[in-house]
Amino acid sequence: MRWLTTLMLILAVLVPLPAQAATVDKPPLAPTPPMGWNSWNKFRCNIDENLIRQTADALVSSGMKDAGYEYVNIDDCWMATQRDAAGDLQADPVRFPSGIKALADYVHAKGLKLGIYSSAGTATCQGRPASLGHERADARKFAEWEVDLLKYDNCHDGGIPAIERFTAMAEALRATGRPILLSVCEWGANQPWNWAGELGHMWRTTGDIADRWGSMVAILDQQVGLEKYSGPGRWNDPDMLEVGNGGMTMTEYRSHLSLWALLNAPLIAGNDLRSMSEEVREMLTNREVIAVNQDWAGVQGHKISDSGDLEVWAKPLSDGGAAVVLFNRGAVGAEVATSAAELGLPAAPAYEVRDLWSGQETVTLGKVRASIPSHGSRMYVVRRGVPAKPVPAVATAVRTDTEGFVKPGQTFAATVSFAVDGLPAVLAAEVALTAPEGWTIRPEGRTGTPVVVPGRPFEARFAVKVPGDVRKGVFELPARATYKTVAGDGAEREEPGYGSVIVAEAPRGSQWLSDLDPVTADVGFGTMGRDRNIGGNPIRIAGVPYGKGLAPHAASEVTYYLGRGCTRFSADVGVDDGSRNRGTVTFHVLGDGREELAATGVIKGGERATSLDVDVSGVLALTLVTGIGPDNNNNDHSVWGAARIACAGPSTTVTATPTEVEIGAGGTFEVSGRLVADGTEPITDVRLAPSAPAGWTVSGQAAQAERLEPGGTLAGSWQVTVPAGADPGAVELPVAATYRAQDGSTPSDSATVKVLVRPAGVVAVKEAESGTLGGAARVSNCGACSGGKKVGNLGNGAANHLTLGALTVADEGEYRLILDYLVSGTRSVFVSVNGGPAAEVRVSGTSFAVPATTTVKVALRAGVNEIRFFNDTAFGPDLDRVMLAS
Ligand code: GLA
């Protein structure tokens, strides 16, 4: 055996430990993935000791404790805003008056464990005191309180490498002598799977989950390839469960839980256990699904096949069986299939298939498949052998001859097939297909048969007609097969099939995507902005305005039907300035089958846009995906600026300059317009001119062309005069084009000039950001502000002021000072003209994102004036712009 020891020594020298994590002699906890509950997903900072006690009660009364849920974890915001006199963390005295030790006692008395939270930083993510530099003292406190788990976060890292910060806490916990499970929450930023298992028992692999379908699948995608790093005592953590929080459908939650169980994810519920529905309770306590997660062999499941939206995830079990999740992440129902061999099971005459959600047990000769609705899944355990009363596995599937997309008015063929995958045969099979209201369905031939044997599916064909006036979108075509089994109980059974089609029309010519309806749009928050950011304001990336564009909050997936008729997709991608230089996003352009056609690295808020120009020839459906970057999805205001698609057909692009004009009533300005025929066909009778609102005058002829070949252009320029009596405010002035296409249709196109009519009598205008800033006053981006910027951090100290000079007026006298400001609440700014006495201007508003206006009187001298804005004692409003009017 000596040689073996020597060999091991040599290997130990030659093979470096993963990364540089010191090996902390961590306590042997979490032989199977930890289970429990955490306050963050549902309650954020709105937590107190009653919630924790009631949740512990609910864990017991709901049966969750019996099902294996053990840890009651208090996330961020449990601590007071200050450490105590001795420098120790202390519980928030208002929300946790009895202290953490009392809670631990309460939870322990119920046979549960208590988890707590801190950050490897100078503050927690919510700005409370955190443990960087206090590791020893804080770990001692946690041990003294008899805490059983620490979730250790990554905010405010003080510029110190993660491994150092997390090692310090692991060592400190170890030094307490109390076995405390360490949950490393580093968001997957520094490949924690390479080092966190040496320090703790689980590690987050991604940014934060949100209670949204798009977020859940984005996280799922990031688990691929990580399976080899996890095992007993060291688990990949794709973040806590959102089941029951309301942002996904029950079908989606079931997929979420099935996949998390298969991934050996720590199952940490994140909903309100005190008021969950019976359906949610049953879902969370499904013993068979939990048993897959807790299988003692601890081999993590992984994706074994992926064809576009249809995925198969599988996990070997310690008893020789395999758990499998058939997953359909697409917008339409489809069959997902695998086999006993693909699941890694040894060859056998037959296999038993147990459906973990329905409890149904069937036998298959090898095929493992099912029809799955959009966003749905089936979870099975497959084992060699035959159950006592064998009932054959069956599958009902719906196929169409349309590739999934149909046009209004179209008639298409749908086939319902009913297959028997196990023994024995089934009798009296009958299939049915249902179409949406207003659609017609006609069977073409038989819909039933006396016997169906394995390997010879029964098929029935139907002609389906889509009404001409149908809306665009997804329509379900549910099918059903009824049959009787020979063996087993002989009862009549039913197997559903989930068919669907999408009504869509392919775009013609070049188009802004924001002018088209997407087939589906899953976004991480709110609804997708079209030509507006998610706050409803103009889109800007690093100060550059985009009149057209898509603004989905990450994580997002938005799909457009192209019908194989388009050639290029282009966009300038980045983070909207509404995120105030925060947010981190990745962009991915996917073609059919989720093929990545283009992608960016991580783009941060405030960074200049990245231009994408992608060949989409032959693509049936285009999917635009944004990911949340290495942190959470906060401020991930992703933008596809000027997102455009070039397709076959007639098309034009119209541009107008300037895009924004500010002018007083009665004033005249010049507008130029340009049209490019950028389609694949010539266009005729082309005309381009501003179409001014009533009362406005346009001088100059419309630009005209009899015929433009593809690539041809037409340009013109005009003088536009605003009526003297025009009201102040924004007016849209379209520069509009009309033309005739080859097919005789007469499309139109336009670009818009935004005209800001100034109040009458304005003699001077100054953007706040053009002034001289003192102290902490800062210029920041502001999508809704004129010039896209504003000045903030004014006041709260004499140094923090703004001075606008070069305000020139012709005559001495009293003027109106029109102030565009931003504030939420009420604040004061003081105004001093030419060093004179200060006048207080009190302003109120509802938002720091959208400016409001107030007017005050000021006395000015003839010639150049200077106005100073300040507040020596309290914060003032943000300022966008000032105008002087007579
Ligand atoms: C980070 C973590 C979350 C949660 C919050 C609390 O975002 O990743 O899971 O703990 O902090 O502030």
Per-residue pLDDT tens over the stretch 651-661: 898 999 998 89
Distance CA 394, CA 123 (A): 56
* Centre of ligand 1 from the C-alpha of residue 87, in Å: 24
Give the tokens for residue 363.
């036998």
pLDDT score of 25 more than 90:
no
Q: Is the CB of 208 under 6 A from ligand 1?
A: yes
Residue nearest to atom 6 of ligand 1 (CA): 76
Cβ(75) – ligand 1 distance below 6 Å = yes
Per-residue DSSP letter, 760? T
Q: Average the pLDDT over 576-602 and give the result.
A: 93
Q: How confident is the model at residue 4 (pLDDT cuts 50, 70, 90)?
A: very low
Instruction: Name the residue with the closest Cα to ligand 1, atom 1.
Output: 125
pLDDT classification of 7: cutoffs 50, 70, 90: very low
Q: What is the pLDDT of residue 22?
A: 54
Residue closest via CA to ligand 1's atom 3 equals 208
What type of residue is 708?
L
**From atom 12 of ligand 1, which residue's Cα is the shortest distance away?**
125
Could you confirm whether 489 is annotated as catalytic? no
CA distance 81 to 128: 5
Q: How far is the CA of 551 from the centre of ligand 1 (A)?
A: 25
| Residue 828 CB less than 6 A away from ligand 1 | no
As a whole number, mean pLDDT of residues 398-418 equals 95
C-beta 237 within 6 A of ligand 1: no
Distance 209 CA to ligand 1 centre (A): 10
pLDDT of residue 2 exceeding 50: no
State the helix-helix crossing angle for 135-144 and 162-176, rounded to 10 degrees: 40
Check if 78 has its Cβ closer than 6 Å to any atom of ligand 1: no
In the chain, the percentage of residues whose pLDDT exceeds 90 is: 84
Quote the strand ranges of 227-345, DSSP E. 235-237, 267-269, 302-307, 310-316, 322-328, 334-339
Given 75, 148, 157, 208, which residue is catalytic? 208
Identify the helix (H) or strand (E) that includes residue 197.
helix 196-199
β-strand pairing of 584-591 with 621-627 = antiparallel
Torsion, Cα 301 307 308 311, to 10 degrees, reads -30
> How many angstroms does the Cα of residue 76 sit away from the middle of ligand 1?
7
Distances (CA, A) of 310 to 230, 306, 420: 25, 6, 21
Q: Is 629 exposed, middle or buried (0-12, 13-18, 19+ CB in 10 A)?
A: buried
Whether the per-residue pLDDT at 6 is higher than 70: the answer is no
Instruction: Give yes or no for residue 242 CB within 6 A of ligand 1.
Output: no
Low-confidence winner among 171-180, 313-322, 335-344, 676-685 (lowest mean pLDDT)? 676-685
| Least trusted range by pLDDT, from 623-632, 697-706, 837-846, 856-865 | 623-632
For helices 250-262 and 213-221, give the axis angle rounded to 10 degrees.
Answer: 20
| 208 counts as catalytic | yes
Give the residue, by CA position, lying nearest to ligand 1 atom 11.
125
Average confidence (pLDDT) over 477-483:
97
Per-residue pLDDT reduced to its tens digit, 337-353 = 999 999 999 999 999 99
Rounded mean pLDDT, 639-655: 93
Report the residue among 40, 268, 631 best suited for mutation to probe ligand 1: largest number of ligand atoms under 8 A from its CB: 40
User: What pLDDT score was predicted for residue 580?
Assistant: 87
- Å from CA of 208 to ligand 1 middle: 7
- Residue bearing the CA closest to ligand 1, atom 9: 208
- Rounded mean pLDDT, 813-835: 95
Give distance in angstroms: CA of 78 to centre of ligand 1: 13
Torsions phi, psi for 229 (to 5 deg):
-90, -15
User: What's the rounded Cα separation, in Å, for the pair 165 and 156?
Assistant: 11
Residues 88-137: pLDDT tens digits? Answer: 999 999 999 999 999 999 999 999 999 999 999 999 999 999 999 999 99
Name the pTM for this structure. 0.76
Query: What integer pLDDT is reported at residue 487 of this predicted model?
Result: 67
Quick check: 3 pLDDT over 60?
Answer: no
Encoded tokens for 223: 């688990």
- With a 6 Å cutoff on the Cβ, whether 632 touches ligand 1 is yes
- Counting from 1 in the atom list of ligand 1, the atom nearest the Cα of 207 is 8
Summarised one tens digit per residue, pLDDT across range 750-795 is 999 999 898 878 888 999 999 999 999 999 988 889 888 999 999 9
DSSP 8-state symbol, 198: H
Distance 749 CA to ligand 1 centre (A): 47
Q: Is 643 exposed, middle or buried (0-12, 13-18, 19+ CB in 10 A)?
A: buried
Locate the ligand 1 atom nearest the alpha carbon of residue 187 and give its number: 8
How remote is the CA of residue 153 from the centroid of ligand 1, in Å?
Answer: 7
d(C-alpha 97, C-alpha 78), whole Å? 11
Asked whether residue 441 carries a pLDDT value surpassing 50, the answer given is yes
The per-residue pLDDT of the chain, averaged, comes to: 93
Q: Which of 76, 153, 239, 749 is catalytic?
A: 153
Query: What is the model's pLDDT at position 504?
Result: 95
Contact 200, 185 (CB under 8 A): no
Q: Is the CB of 185 under 6 A from ligand 1?
A: yes
CB atoms within 10 A of CB 125: 22
Report the distance separating Cα 774 and Cα 814, nearest Å: 27
In the chain the first and final C-alpha atoms are separated, in Å, by 100
Tokens 């953590």 — which residue?
A: 237
Any atom of ligand 1 within 6 Å of the Cβ of 76: yes
